[in-house]
Structure 1
């Protein structure tokens, strides 16, 4: 056959095969094709669908070019709507281009209730709760498989490790579907515990804690069931135990876990071959071209040095520090790998620690995008992000910004991603994707304290409030709180609003209004007032300016003539106190806070120093000046033990035409939040009934106060701690004058229930020394609230 004839037949055949290869094939990366047609195909039982809904969420348009990256983003955008169980993008050849076909499989909506078959150990209602489906929810096989895992986990907690769940989704008319769960529970074989063998360097209690089993003496251990579910995952048990050994330098440790039956008890037997403890012979860092090697050596030396134990957690920390060193300077995608070759030498086992670094590219921020915020304003999120377009992409700052967004409490989760530009990988689009959650709270309850006895309280709060977003009033990042508390000795109503970014700067502007009523044995006091405050960040700490104006009213003042205990020549009457006046204090406070967390901290410092003036210049009736300081430091010790030190001092003085400090502004000590072991406000200056009158002593407060406390806490398990403490303090009658020979002190122990939203402190304190012969003790103390 002539060659020309062969060419004539071969070329059309080659073209046909090429087009066939293009059919139903995705576009290739870096290659753009001309779109001639766009089509939407609906697959599955739900054939009817809205094409416009799909097309408005995709980028392919007739007459435009499209790339694989564009189509991948289209596929992700459609899946993110939650309406589709499956999305495929197909390319079909047409004249001079391609047809883009979006094949979508819509998810049906659940028709309640779900049919449950084969269940005995778990009730039908309980299984439906675990299924987490309400009428009208979108549902598909993947969702049912995920919910089935949760139901199996519940069975494992009940001791049914072999339970299986089969879900059937049956399409119905009108886009609905019914769900049937067929359950095979299997025999009950609950794990009762672990048996560890071969462990010499690590005690059994530490290994039990690593796999989540509560201590045997834990009184609430019966309420902890999740460890039984984890015990069924033998691979996870092996990994958890081995990690304990790796973190202690046993790099060759081998762990095996197998189920064991002993009589009627099902156990998990964990056999351990510990191996030797390795130490570091030398540390090398390779692959470095961007920085001075000495700088990276110092970075690693912060956690690891030659001669140290080759601990796995320290190596992970060193790896993170090296990666952060690059990421802080904008070198993204840097990879750090650790190798630990054994050094063949006499003596204790040693390894050479080598960090191999694959340096990334120097990247800059092209743009910052926010996704998923349906209620929170963009600017509320952006102001927490420490990156700006055009700047170097500081990955450490980017992660710190993500953590700040999480700490706002507005979102269930915050995800950070960086997307490289297709033509220039050194340019990155930074994307923060958030999932919003309910930020409003309503709490109501009752409690008990050593002072108020029975307390009832109610609180409404919105941590993502927006005063100017009518009628929804959320999304602006402001904080609104309204509370009411009623006790046998107090009645309080408070409303406060805080704008943490006043004038779009890191200035926190707040305002509050309140009515507070307190009943003492000697008088009742009512304070009605409010005022603004402004907090300004400093390089070290913050400074707060606060102004308040309040009307102070005293009622039911105790009658009678008294003399001072420390100076019987001076007389006193409660009825001589001014019972109706205005206070208008202006206070400046410097605050410092490095605690690792706001509630139940384990390390860091919280402190403040303040000065306050009150008088006609500020709008008040009394001329007073007050200064004070309050500092507390937490020291982490071992196994969660924490030592805390607390010191506080204040003094108040009258000036100008004001001769005496009103009783409402004097200082008192004694009780659960100051010096425990003594009656509330009983430490300090007292008066006695004058000669020839009846009655008992009465505390009248002093003008100078100082106290200190040391407390040691031991965690028993989550939300329960034991405490031992020593308190000391005194109150004196003169301004800026203290007599440290007259101090009251106590020692004792207590228990802390760290329940979220309702923490309880119970203490028993024994007085060690009294400041005078009249101060009375009160050994049991109960308070609701964190320290």
Structure 2
């Protein structure tokens, strides 16, 4: 007998485009017959929402899974999909029938992605029980993935994108995404017109997913043009876009519509950053008749150039606005912002219009630059940071102070009235500084690098600088130092603690190798360094000694250096304490032996030195040092100068020196902005010895970024100047302590090649050997242009200067040249320098050198 088959619900998988909609109505004759079934009769397809379901709470006799087949037929569902479905449904025999449970089962089965149609039906049995039937339309499985029509890319390249679909259910979203991925691969190679299509017939017939690729012709950009650009040249605009012209070997110049559209947006930003607020930009692609080449034209409508007329400040801090309304304007329904005068009436600290304008880089009358506006907003936030407000920081993330701009354009003239709306947040006072993660490093070593002081206004810049200093100490894993500002203390509003988390690293280093330097020659290197040494924590057992846990944790730097070479040799042992006796002063001690072979004599220096230094703020640093050394001049050739014979033998040298430096560069190893200033004086003979004289030195280097590419690579101009002077004159200073230039310090000349020459002792005539001077000056300029990322760069330079027997600028030398910088992090943290120098002004006695090879040390 036929049974009453009542459809419960149908399912459409909305996450899968291939799933069909099944609207179940009265279904009879589904091939389900059994004993004890009620005669078939017509029923309404669904039970109304306000009527009770007639099958609710009836016992479930059986749950069946059927497979939907063509022509509306069904058959038993078998295989892995059947077991998977049974494991997912919660409608089970013996339980009461729940329509809501069946609904949840259908949703669960749909989420599996294995079925394209799902419906549920119920059969009422004569004994009052029910049979629940799930009719499932299985999703086809992709048996294999193939590509045809591809000549430019290999099968492996295409299947790296689409091959993962093999063995999965047919999913239109994933199939289309793989097709677009293959198209993007072609576009990267310049095939802009590529199309990737799916062979639907093959997929339906065999389950094999075949991607048919119509590659089209490779389109190259043969020209990039600009129309409507009046204020900027095409060369200037090219720096803002990524579309490039085809250049054989060097540039493939593919045409990519997405890149072109992105370039339109970048051009718009370029103009808006320079005051053209109403600029409009578009693009036009003109293909060649052969379909392989195209010209991209960017069309610009610049509009007027806007300038800044005025700056006003409005405060939108919710607590301040609410307080003002309650105290002074209770009848006013809504107050959007407060003026500086209204904030002052509340007794709150704030910036006036004039103060805000003074902080801004963008001034009244300037071209309205969005770049300057953003920097001006950052300057205002930084000012709030000094007052204890939590402001944005590149390292720490967003803060509480929000500065937004509202631009009011003058309808009559291209002028902008700028309104800055400031939400200050709440000022904070620094609470406790807690350090976690330092198992070996002493707490005090870390706290010495923390600028935050409890009880003072919490400056976000100090927190960020503290993190930067801890990273620079190299005591911890790179990138592991975290400094976070904690929420307000519940018992002390306005007080916020700072949590510093570190992960210690191996601070010992053992290096050996070989280096070549055009001044020092071939040099071997053997160094042992411990950056977290503690002289006052010796190992307490043999285990601590051999496990290297003794002498650790004090933040001191101990270094053993052995550098043998064919021209020079250096041997030294040094110890540096960055916080001597837990103070703000650093201390350094060193014992050394240096030897050097010059052309006509040998020099050996055995000595020791000690110095004390201190930082003043974040840019100034001062130091005082003392040195005692024995200098031995030997193997002097008979043709040498009188000055050299006077210094032959052993010379006891002592000196006390004072040095002051100011460093504002953005990077100690590869600076691109800022300056470095040094001032020094050394008094020789202050502690006794064979000579007594004074040597003065001053230097200044500045780094200027001339251009920064779209990818962040910078063209940098370096200006270098230095002056040295011995007031007592050349006669009071021995030859080995006088002033020289040449080699790395003056390219185009050999080491010590720029110098006065002395009188030969054997002939009494002027010789060619340098004897040094009492006055030197140097001025140079160098432009560094990256050509391959930040790995390879080319430089052009001019070096000028002189070395004199007395103060003056006679015998001035000039050289020009070009060179290359190669950055290999595994070899050196600074670029390798290869320079070719060509003297333009020189003396007959100077020693020239065409090629100089060294490490490009910035200071």
- After TM superposition, the score normalised by the length of structure 1 is 0.64
Counterpart residue number, 2:760? 688
Q: Is 1:385 aligned to 2:443, yes or no?
A: no
CA contact (8 A) 1:412 1:434 kept: no
Q: 1:550 aligns with which of 625, 629, 649?
A: 629
Show the 5 A alignment for 1:423-438.
423=490, 426-434=494-502
CA displacement, residues 616-652 of structure 1 (integer Å, 9 cap, x when unaligned)? x73x541322321121232637434525141211327
CA displacement, residues 511-564 of structure 1 (integer Å, 9 cap, x when unaligned)? 22322111111111122233221112347833322223333233322125x7x7
Q: 1:337 aligns with which of 404, 411, 415?
A: 404
CA contact (8 A) 1:759 1:786 kept: no
Q: 1:738 aligns with which of 807, 810, 815?
A: 807
Counterpart residue number, 1:417? 484
Q: 1:245 aligns with which of 236, 260, 271?
A: 271
Mark the CA change 1:274 to 1:376 in structure 2 (over 3 Å): closer, same or farther: farther
Mark the CA change 1:533 to 1:265 in structure 2 (over 3 Å): closer, same or farther: farther
C-alpha distance in 2 between matches for 1:601 and 1:186: 49
Counterpart residue number, 2:779? 709
Counterpart residue number, 2:800? 727
Q: Is 1:625 aligned to 2:729, yes or no?
A: no
Q: 2:837 aligns with which of 749, 755, 764?
A: 764
Show the 5 A alignment for 1:499-578.
499-538=577-616, 541-560=620-639, 572=642, 574=644, 577-578=647-648
State the secondary structure of the residue aligned to 2:479: strand
CA contact (8 A) 1:601 1:634 kept: no
Counterpart residue number, 1:20? none
Q: Which runs of 5+ in 1 are unaligned?
A: 1-116, 128-147, 165-183, 565-571
Q: 1:778 aligns with which of 849, 852, 859?
A: 849
CA contact (8 A) 2:684 2:693 kept: yes
- After TM superposition, the score normalised by the length of structure 2 is 0.59
Q: 1:282 aligns with which of 310, 325, 328?
A: 310
**Aligned-residue offset at 1:435:** 5.8
**Aligned-residue offset at 1:356:** 0.7
State the secondary structure of the residue aligned to 2:726: strand
C-alpha distance in 2 between matches for 1:482 and 1:185: 66
C-alpha distance in 2 between matches for 1:766 and 1:740: 17
C-alpha distance in 1 between matches for 2:610 and 2:146: 63
CA contact (8 A) 1:675 1:746 kept: no
C-alpha distance in 2 between matches for 1:399 and 1:457: 36
Mark the CA change 1:342 to 1:662 in structure 2 (over 3 Å): closer, same or farther: closer
Mark the CA change 1:308 to 1:780 in structure 2 (over 3 Å): closer, same or farther: same
CA contact (8 A) 2:681 2:697 kept: no
**Aligned-residue offset at 1:720:** 1.7
Mark the CA change 1:653 to 1:243 in structure 2 (over 3 Å): closer, same or farther: same
C-alpha distance in 2 between matches for 1:613 and 1:294: 52
Mark the CA change 1:273 to 1:537 in structure 2 (over 3 Å): closer, same or farther: same
State the secondary structure of the residue aligned to 1:510: strand
Q: 2:682 aligns with which of 612, 623, 628?
A: 612
CA displacement, residues 76-133 of structure 1 (integer Å, 9 cap, x when unaligned)? xxxxxxxxxxxxxxxxxxxxxxxxxxxxxxxxxxxxxxxxx99997999xx9xxxxxx
Q: For this pair of structures, how many residues does the alignment match? A: 601
Mark the CA change 1:762 to 1:217 in structure 2 (over 3 Å): closer, same or farther: farther
**Aligned-residue offset at 1:706:** 1.5
C-alpha distance in 2 between matches for 1:438 and 1:188: 54
**Aligned-residue offset at 1:660:** 6.3
CA contact (8 A) 1:380 1:477 kept: yes
Counterpart residue number, 1:753? 821
Greater strand content: 1
CA contact (8 A) 2:636 2:648 kept: no
Mark the CA change 1:521 to 1:272 in structure 2 (over 3 Å): closer, same or farther: same
For the aligned residue pairs, the C-alpha RMSD in angstroms reads 4.7
CA displacement, residues 569-609 of structure 1 (integer Å, 9 cap, x when unaligned)? xxx38556442343333322233333343345455443333
C-alpha distance in 1 between matches for 2:479 and 2:857: 24
CA contact (8 A) 1:668 1:731 kept: no
State the secondary structure of the residue aligned to 2:379: helix
C-alpha distance in 2 between matches for 1:215 and 1:724: 30
CA contact (8 A) 1:447 1:455 kept: yes
Mark the CA change 1:611 to 1:279 in structure 2 (over 3 Å): closer, same or farther: closer
